[in-house]
Amino acid sequence: MNAIISASELASHLAGAHPPVLLDVRWQLSMAKATGEPSFDGRAEYAAGHIPGAVFVDLDRELAATPGPGGRHPLPDLVEFGAAMRRAGVSAGTPVVVYDGGQGWAAARAWWMLRWTGHPNVSVLDGGLTSWQGELSTEVPEPAEGDFQPAPAAAGLLDAEGAAALARSGVLLDARAGERYRGEVEPIDRVGGHIPGALSAPTTDNVGSDGRFLPAEELAARFKALGVSDASTVGVYCGSGVSGAHEVLALAVAGIPAALYVGSWSEWSSDPSRPVAVGPDPQ
């Protein structure tokens, strides 16, 4: 399977002799720090109805560690991550399809985690649950234990120092909204702005009005306009390594490999000694 899969393709695969493992990763960025609003409860949404056979995966608890100096969604303990994936039925030899409520960010984080840790066949449902035309189920499946063992790749992951170096030597894309990049607003983190040298490339511009990814050739043209060439080394960051994973996925659809700075702005901005650029210019 490709990096993304349509709802009709997924329905066909689920009806086949060897259906993929299906993961529901509904999640939503909580602005509770700024607004006092309660956090989104993805598990309740899952319980109310999910694609038949899907297993719920908790982004905050299974795809990330506890927030701290490493950011709001640092890498999870890989032993615990592997155990969570095996409980969900994930095996190295079985395709995996992940979906969320439609935004695609949470599903992309699961896609990136599985791909970076060595799973060879993972796809994101393009458009998420909103694109699914089939019936929903409230039955919670009990999958057989999988055999997936995380084996992180040497490439594909950036730390703060690596992101800063890439902003100078390659192409570092900032996937957040433009106003956060420019430092005009910052609803969550300590300070607004961006890593010096990073280019503003909001991940929301990678999808159409229906929430589905733009065609591969349009995505390739967009990234080319941002300075990405065949010779470019590309990295991405966002607020906390979630929407940035969505941009890495968009780059993959366009045929461009990219690394993710998981700590992202929530880690970078937590250290007052790190430089911060503001305004529309990279520097």
Catalytic residues: 238
Say which residue the tokens 């490999």 belong to.
257
How far is it, in rounded angstroms, from Cα 182 to Cα 136? 42
HEC-encoded secondary structure of 162-199: HHHHHHHHCEEEECCCHHHHHCCCCCCCCCCCECCCCE
SS3 201: coil
Nearest 5°: phi and psi at 244? -65, -35
Q: What is the DSSP string of 24-83?
A: E-------HHHH-PPPP-HHHHHHH-BSTT-EE--HHHHSS--SBTTBSSPPPPHHHHHH
Please choose, from the candidates 178, 195, 191, 200, the residue with its C-alpha nearest in 3D space to the C-alpha of residue 283. 195
Cα–chain center distance at 163: 17
How far is it, in rounded angstroms, from Cα 249 to Cα 258? 9
How far is it, in rounded angstroms, from Cα 98 to Cα 4? 9
